[in-house]
Chain A
């Protein structure tokens, strides 16, 4: 995707402002809990390269951005059934180098101030799904919202 972004920036160079004048927040990968067993929590670490959520940010070097997650406590399913989600104090991760292996952990339940080392960075999110032993069959949905304020 990064390659296509660059290509597009070049292709539309005449129409878009300079790359340094652009900003973006792109959700790369959703938080995926994979196979669940009734009554057994499923935790996804923010360092999980396949299942953690990842957002790529584009800002400007040494600039700051405030990251605020709005996290669901439950996912809602059929007939009002719910499937609880838990986000802990270390489930958020910020990487100024966009490396999943080099993150600074933070509490995604409170705003986090990120500083760009270059013009790109990534945010990662883990969490825990807690299906009950009698989880009702059906589709459960929830929404994770990330608000990024550029200063």
Chain B
């Protein structure tokens, strides 16, 4: 092929049909299954104008924090008996499906726990993988053309909990500290789960000046499965120099979850002083 032909051919890349959007809406974004029913559901909705090919799988993992206080998922491929994994015995039906444009589909999650499973809370991650339908490429008769097609695959990873028998939760708050970094006050703490279930709640932080006036606030959802040391930032831009207090509390309130699945526990609080230069 001549260089001219090659250029024309490669230019044809620009005429390749754009791919349709991929991905689905998932509700709820955290799944809770109790031992009495041993099943749950998630609803998937395809907002796109093309069919979505969906694959659903489970895995084991739980949120942790890294050395910077950032959240991360610790995935464990082969959880041993010390880890409360439900990944091996919760299955989605169907596991593969195609959702038509603007349609929704309910996926049932069935649990088949091993006999003699002790009371407690068991965890898994539900992974919903969405792939859009492949579109035909234009200009098929032009054998000199060079075309590209970059497919998009979207994986959404959400939490799943299976509860057997009475479960309770709580959290211990320690090592609260704060320091100014740039136009923020960074707040660190150590959070350790108590009782038998993950602590799911909200972190509330407030920066209070010497007159008691709240100058900056933060509310963030949190789930403590074992131990975490999260870092949060409170904005202190344009605040006057001087001493301030950081008030910090964890409460079992979550507006993004069904209240029926949020285990209640007493709020925990602490405060620490920080000086703005």
Contact = CB atoms under 8 A, between A and B. Distances in A.
A37 B7 contact: yes
A24 interface: yes
A26 B48 contact: yes
Across chains A and B, which 9 residue pairs bring their CB atoms closest together, nearest first? Answer: A26-B23, A23-B29, A24-B25, A27-B22, A35-B14, A22-B27, A147-B155, A62-B220, A27-B152
A27 B154 contact: yes
Contacts of B11: 35-37
15 contacts: A8-B102, A15-B43, A16-B27, A25-B154, A27-B22, A27-B152, A29-B21, A30-B18, A35-B10, A63-B256, A111-B72, A129-B148, A137-B1, A145-B153, A151-B159
Interface of A: 1, 4-5, 8, 12, 15-17, 20-38, 53, 55, 58-64, 66, 72, 75, 77, 83, 111, 113, 129, 131, 134-151
Contact of B70 (A8, A12, A55, A113): A113
B218 interface: yes
Interface of B: 1, 3, 6-7, 9-11, 13-14, 16, 18-19, 21-30, 43, 45, 47-48, 63, 70-73, 102, 104, 125, 130, 132, 137, 143-159, 218-221, 223, 255-258
Nearest to A26: B23
Contacts of A63: 220-221, 256
A32 B13 CA distance: 9
Given A1-B47, A4-B47, A23-B29, A66 B146 contact: no
A23 B148 contact: no
A148 B157 contact: yes
B152 A16 contact: no
B21 A150 contact: no
Contacts of A113: 70-72
A25 B48 CA distance: 12
B156 A141 contact: no
Nearest to A4: B47
A58 B218 CA distance: 20
Given A12-B45, A149-B73, A150-B158, A139 B258 contact: no
Contacts of B18: 29-30, 32
B104 A75 contact: no
A149 B138 CA distance: 36
Contact of A147 (B29, B148, B157): B157
A36 B13 contact: yes
B27 A23 contact: yes
Nearest to B134: A141
A38 B256 contact: no
Given A8-B102, A62-B221, A151-B71, A25 B156 contact: yes
Contacts of A75: 148, 150
B255 A150 contact: no
B155 A146 contact: yes
B156 A24 contact: yes
Contact of A151 (B16, B25, B155, B223): B223
Nearest to A58: B25
B71 A30 contact: no
A36 B6 CA distance: 10
A59 B145 CA distance: 42
